[in-house]
Chain A
């Protein structure tokens, strides 16, 4: 009979309308500025630079190797290498970026810079309320705006940050052990040389 299909459909609409008062599953809207759904751990938006401890200059992990600049698909990263060096987390002297700009109006949040970085220096931020009144300059983030502390990273990606910290500590320990072994080997070699000289 003509009309039964429409009535059946209207019954569905009525069930949804009434159900929205009782079933959480049928009313999923979040009233955004007042009410916010939590962001998942893996959420990513735009990249930022990590510095250790409390000094954005001395603790900056980036060594200006420019791999991210080269691999970035839309080419939104601009780096100028420094002339002098500063010690990194293992105490090794390294270059640092004199200029590090990310144009977030070009960035497409693909995370490739994070994947290729060998120094765990660049990570994805979760900040998404970034609207600006000006069109150009305000979306070009400078090194000062990009640098954020390791504590901030722990706050936004707790699980991932823990793993990164463990990796870095292991690498530092391994480097320390290698240094020690090399020193010991040098001492041993010197002793052996001296002994050889004494016998000769």
Chain B
């Protein structure tokens, strides 16, 4: 790692609690739903004592569109394009999680090349999600524009790859039960390899830009501390849990796909504060680049979809299955109950952003209003997934 973690003992930091200006009165402020830094239509009712947050009530549901009920009324395949719209930054991983649970339900094998393609696309998704998250987080802190534009420049290259493979930048709808929809040609793989090879250069630059910056450190260290115990009890997953020092990554725990064949490390945090969460993303991108570098030489020609799976009138046997993957935001799972008809009897999504958001009040109490935005940004939410 190139950026060193500095402590700011030399810097005087203001005391966390200030004397209340309004004796015994709290000021209630409604933040959102159209506040630019709430990452979508999300509202918080904050009770303030001067600048200090004393109570916080998240209000969501503005983007609710009945995803789970729609899933029960469309065919299994028909839900696949809807999963793109859950977390619209990472449609590839959403597709994979859903395909994985249907494959578990119906006992479908996936050809080798399709597994490699899925893994490559999932790691590319992780790269672009984390890059844009870092940009958004800096934007929330007031570094308006510049880091976000640098991050988006990298992200756009990866989205161009998705577009040339699947036909759409964000709503990829790429995976199918038992494989993938379109095959990647050698030219695409060479292009992807080139982008991945150049990615560490962007990471070095980005870490120089932000991670040593005193303002970033001052705004993030010791802000929004989360203890490992509380995180585990609340069911937090993903980089937010690992920032507290808990070694839990479903790529290692479940070993789905071809992840057991790859050598990669799981970065772990120590303090569980916003700075650790930010660093976690930067370090995970480096590990994703390592995985991708191992994947490109291994991919061999072959079929990309299991020919036994019917496109029309697909009926899995009676039963239930829960498939989960390590999405860029945490554990993304789909729980399906089949009663033998073409539609699932129950279709349940376990969205990582929604469950990670439940701890917002615990993280924000005692901090200033400006810190609430930074903490919210570091949780990494997408309202499409929170409200479903």
Contact = CB atoms under 8 A, between A and B. Distances in A.
B212 A8 contact: yes
Query: Which of A2, A5, A26, A112 has the most C-beta atoms of chain B within 10 angstroms of its own C-beta?
Result: A5
B78 interface: yes
Given A2-B10, A2-B11, A73-B79, A9 B167 contact: no
Interface in A124-149: 124
B78 A12 contact: no
A9 B81 contact: no
A111 B166 CA distance: 10
B81 A43 contact: no
B296 to A, nearest CB: 20
A124 B205 CA distance: 40
B209 A13 contact: yes
A5 B78 contact: no
A9 B212 contact: yes
Nearest to A4: B212
Contacts of A9: 208-210, 212-213
A194 interface: no
Given A71-B75, A115-B311, A40 B81 contact: no
B82 interface: yes
A5 B163 contact: no
Contacts of A15: 205
B209 A73 contact: no
Contact of A124 (B79, B167, B212, B311): B167
A194 to B, nearest CB: 46
B153 A28 contact: yes
Contacts of A4: 212
A196 B49 CA distance: 108
Nearest to A16: B150
B190 interface: no
Contacts of A2: 10-11, 214
Given A42-B167, A73-B78, A111 B11 contact: no
A12 B209 contact: yes
Contacts of A110: 80-81, 171, 173
Nearest to A5: B212
Interface in A32-49: 40-44
B369 interface: no
A187 B351 CA distance: 67
A177 interface: no
Interface residues of A, number: 30
B213 A6 contact: yes
A67 interface: yes
Given A13-B209, A73-B82, A6 B167 contact: no
B213 A44 contact: no
B168 interface: yes
Contacts of A8: 208-209, 212-213
B212 A42 contact: no
Contacts of A28: 153, 156-157
A115 B212 CA distance: 51
A112 B177 CA distance: 13
B168 A44 contact: yes
A44 B167 CA distance: 5
Contacts of B217: 5
B6 interface: yes
A70 to B, nearest CB: 9
B166 A42 contact: yes
A19 to B, nearest CB: 10
A46 to B, nearest CB: 12
A5 B167 contact: no
Contacts of B171: 108-110
Interface in B247-304: none
B205 A40 contact: no
Interface in B161-199: 163-168, 171, 173, 181-182
A111 B150 contact: no
B308 interface: no
Nearest to B8: A2
A91 interface: no
Contacts of A172: none
B213 A111 contact: no
Nearest to A126: B167
B45 interface: no
A67 B77 CA distance: 14
28 contacts: A2-B10, A5-B213, A6-B213, A8-B208, A8-B209, A8-B212, A8-B213, A9-B212, A12-B205, A15-B205, A28-B153, A28-B156, A28-B157, A40-B164, A41-B164, A42-B164, A42-B166, A71-B75, A71-B78, A73-B75, A73-B78, A73-B79, A108-B171, A111-B167, A111-B173, A112-B78, A112-B81, A116-B311
- In order of increasing CB-CB distance, the 8 nearest A-B pairs are A110-B81, A5-B212, A40-B164, A44-B167, A73-B78, A42-B167, A5-B213, A12-B209
Given A12-B205, A112-B78, 7 more contacts: A5-B6, A16-B205, A28-B157, A42-B164, A71-B78, A73-B78, A110-B80
